């Protein structure tokens, strides 16, 4: 087998299970390799992920109970059609599911509601008392130190105003933990991409391509348990919506030595989403008394009555792919991917308004997001492929992912990974193949934090020594 034909087989054999577990919400890896195949080409595949993500309560949580596996298994398909219309022009349709999440907390822990849940944690209540004590000392011109704070806190706690607040909070205890149909924190997000790619090949070495991208997004989030404080009993259902973006890239190849390099940029995609939000807290009869006791304006609750649109922007990304022949019947390959998660966040309309209402209590006067990430994602996958016979080829690979920051959201508590993979391809005819692959992931340890804690070192749980197993299967046809 010549190197220029071997390169096609090897790159195809690496694709199953390539990007099925990555930072933040990243799933498919958004490969362009199908469009860069010679001639007319079709492929279809499926990837399956079986993760195990367990941990325990930690950080600001008063208890240290075990947290059972919260990561759901999932699978997603992909397909591609590439047509070489003339010697210089090509067209492709690429379908994948680039971003997603599937998680559910069960058992007895701070992410599962129960009849003993309080509206505010003991730490939050102590923070309120301390702030009021310090404010009183400063107003009276009394030096602020440990002794004066302790005395002022005692006065605050014995005041009629605080006793009234404590009574209202005690009356609300258990309400949020028992006022919903489901007591599990859960998240599920699904996206779909259809990319229409137009390519121009001025000669045998260069390929320039670009095109529009249609993307849909839908999902739901249910927050439960004392970790989420006033958001215990919060539900957000995201109706499927469509956004439009674009991609552009360039590729260079020298077929005689199986060298191929490409770089692809994908734009951000905006979605104006109608999210139906429900909050168990709003149904509590004594809510006004609690807000008044906290010094908040209960009239602002009127703004939480209507469902308004929320803007969600999926991130921009860059993929760099490279391969080259290194000896007879053998190629080396590598992929580098960057995703701009640092600028990504989700703040549903009602969630955001409530966060601005309660934010001053916890030092977040501008509110906070449901989900955000501290860092951009970088990932690298590299390996070697080899022809084993006229019909069989195989490869081995290693991968690394940086993660998107640590601490990280409770809805996806891992920090990157290392992995190893094996792939094999069988070609019953020169025009057809079937490829399979498997990868084992060592998931990075992470501290999990709620949206209210994002941007700080505070956290409510830790997740360590976790792993995932991924499988992939793909068929292809050249015509």
Return the number of other C-beta atoms located less than 10 Å from residue 44's C-beta. Answer: 15
Q: What is the pLDDT of residue 364?
A: 83
pLDDT band at 115 (very low <50, low <70, confident <90, very high): confident
Token digits for 257? Answer: 């030595």
Answering whether pTM is above 0.95, one says no
CB 234 within 8 A of CB 354: no
pLDDT reported for residue 180: 82
Q: Does the pLDDT at position 21 exceed 70?
A: no
Residue 299 pLDDT more than 80?
Answer: no
pLDDT for 116: 83
- pLDDT higher than threshold 60 for residue 419: yes
Mean pLDDT of 317-330: 92
∠ CA 468-470-476 to the nearest 5 degrees? 170
Q: Is the pLDDT of residue 406 over 70?
A: yes
- Res. 381: pLDDT tops 50: yes
What are all long-range contacts of 85-91, with beta carbons under 8 Å and residues at least 24 apart? Answer: 87/201, 88/200, 88/201, 88/202, 89/198, 89/199, 89/200, 89/201, 90/35, 90/198, 90/199, 90/200, 90/201, 90/207, 90/209, 91/196, 91/197, 91/198, 91/199
CA–CA separation, 36 vs 272, rounded Å? 33
pLDDT above 60: residue 11: no
pLDDT of residue 23: 65
Q: How high is the pLDDT of residue 168? A: 77
Report pLDDT for 237: 95
Residue 194 above 70 pLDDT?
A: yes
The pLDDT of residue 25: 87
**Dihedral (C-alpha) 388, 417, 343, 348: value to the nearest 10 degrees?**
110
- Least confident range of 54-58, 103-107, 351-355: 351-355
Q: What percentage of the chain exceeds 90 in pLDDT? A: 62
pLDDT band at 2 (very low <50, low <70, confident <90, very high): very low
Look at residue 13 in the predicted model and tell me its pLDDT.
Answer: 45
Q: Domain locations in the chain?
A: 3-113+183-478, 120-172
Residue 15, pLDDT above cutoff 60: no
36 band by pLDDT with thresholds 50, 70 and 90: very high
Residue 9 pLDDT class (50, 70, 90 cuts): very low
- The mean of the pLDDT values for the chain is 89
Q: Which of 101-105, 236-240, 298-302, 457-461 has the lowest mean pLDDT?
A: 298-302
pLDDT score at 165: 80
For position 461, what pLDDT does the model report?
A: 97
The 3-class secondary structure across the chain, one letter per residue, is CCHHHHHHHHHHHHCCCCCCCCCCCECCCCCCCCCCCCCCEEEEEEEEEEEECCEEECCCCCCCCEECCCECCEEEEEEEEEEECCCCEEEEEEEECCEEEEEECCCCCCCECCCCCCCCCHHHHHHHHHHHHHHHHHHHCCCCCHHHHHHHHHHHHHCHHHHHHHHHHHHHCCHHHHCCCCCECEEEEEEEEEEEEEEECCCCCEEEEEEEEEEEEEEEEEECCHHHHHHCCEEEEEEEEEEEEEEEEEEEEEHHHCEEEEEEEECCEEEEEEEEEEEHHHHCCCHHHHHHHCCCCHHHHHHHCCCCEEEEEECCEEEEEEEEEEECCEEEEEEEEEECHHHCEECCHHHHHHHHHHHHHHCCCCCCCCEECCCCEEEEEEEEEEECCCCEEEEEEEEEECCCCCCEECCCCCCCEEEEEEEEEEEEECCEEEEEEEEEEEECCEEEECHHHCCCCCCCEEECCEEEEEEEEEEEEEC
Q: What is the mean pLDDT of residues 322-339?
A: 91
Read off the pLDDT of residues 68-88 as tens digits, 9 standing for 90 and up. 999 989 888 999 999 999 999
pLDDT of amino acid 225: 93
Q: What is the pLDDT of residue 19?
A: 58
The lowest-confidence range among 121-135, 271-285, 413-427, 463-477 is 121-135
Q: Alpha-carbon distance 166 to 173, whole Å?
A: 10
Q: What is the pLDDT of residues 382-398, one digit of tens each?
A: 999 898 888 999 999 99
For the segment 405-421, the average pLDDT, to the nearest whole number, is 93
- Most confidently modeled of 2-11, 258-267, 325-334? 258-267
Give the mean pLDDT of 449-478.
Answer: 93
3-113+183-478 falls under which CATH superfamily? Outer membrane protein transport protein (OMPP1/FadL/TodX) (2.40.160.60)
Residue 403 and residue 444 in contact, taking contact as beta carbons nearer than 8 Å: yes
User: What's the pLDDT at 1?
Assistant: 38
Average pLDDT over residues 79-103: 96
* Listed range (101-105, 109-113, 359-363, 371-375) with the worst mean pLDDT: 359-363
């Amino acid at each position: 087998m010549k190197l220029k034909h071997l390169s096609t087989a090897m790159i195809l054999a690496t694709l199953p299970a390539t990007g099925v577990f990555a930072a933040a919400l990243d799933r498919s890896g958004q490969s362009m390799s199908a469009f860069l195949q010679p001639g007319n080409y079709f492929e279809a595949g499926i990837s399956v992920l079986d993760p195990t993500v367990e941990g325990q309560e930690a950080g600001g949580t008063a208890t240290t109970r075990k947290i059972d596996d919260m990561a759901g298994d999932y699978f997603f398909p992909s397909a591609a059609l590439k047509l070489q219309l003339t010697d210089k022009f090509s067209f492709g349709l690429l379908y994948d599911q680039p971003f997603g999440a599937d998680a559910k907390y069960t058992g007895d822990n701070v992410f599962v509601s129960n009849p003993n849940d309080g509206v505010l944690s003991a730490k939050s209540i102590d923070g309120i008392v301390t702030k009021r004590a310090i404010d009183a000392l400063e107003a009276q011109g009394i030096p602020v130190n440990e002794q004066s704070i302790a005395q002022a806190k005692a006065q605050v706690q014995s005041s009629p105003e605080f006793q009234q607040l404590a009574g209202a909070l005690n009356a609300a205890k258990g309400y949020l933990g028992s006022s919903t149909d489901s007591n599990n924190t859960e998240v599920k997000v699904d996206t779909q991409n259809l990319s229409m790619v137009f390519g121009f090949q001025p000669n045998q070495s260069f390929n320039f391509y670009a095109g529009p991208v249609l993307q849909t997004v839908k999902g739901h989030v249910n927050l439960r348990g004392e970790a989420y404080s006033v958001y215990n009993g919060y539900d957000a259902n995201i109706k499927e919506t469509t956004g439009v973006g674009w991609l552009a890239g360039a590729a260079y190849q020298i077929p005689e030595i199986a060298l191929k390099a490409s770089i692809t940029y994908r734009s951000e995609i905006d979605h104006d989403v109608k999210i139906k939000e429900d909050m168990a807290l709003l149904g509590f009869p004594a809510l006004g008394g609690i807000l008044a006791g906290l010094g908040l304006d209960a009239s602002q609750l009127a703004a939480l009555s209507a469902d308004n649109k929320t803007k969600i922007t999926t991130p921009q990304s860059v993929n760099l792919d490279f391969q080259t022949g290194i000896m007879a019947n053998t190629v080396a390959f590598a992929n580098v991917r960057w995703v701009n998660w640092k600028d990504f966040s989700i703040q549903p309309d009602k969630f955001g308004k409530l966060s601005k209402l309660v934010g001053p209590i916890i030092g977040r006067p501008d509110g906070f997001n449901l989900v955000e990430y501290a860092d951009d994602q970088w990932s690298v996958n590299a390996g070697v492929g080899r022809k084993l016979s006229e019909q069989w080829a195989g490869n081995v690979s290693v991968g690394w992912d940086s993660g998107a920051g640590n601490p990280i959201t409770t809805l996806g508590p891992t920090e990157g990974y290392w992995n190893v993979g094996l792939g094999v391809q069988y070609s019953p005819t020169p025009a057809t193949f079937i490829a399979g692959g498997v990868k084992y992931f060592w998931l990075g340890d992470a501290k999990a934090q709620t949206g209210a804690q994002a941007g700080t070192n505070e956290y409510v749980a830790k997740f360590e020594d976790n792993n995932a197993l991924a499988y992939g299967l793909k068929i292809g046809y050249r015509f």
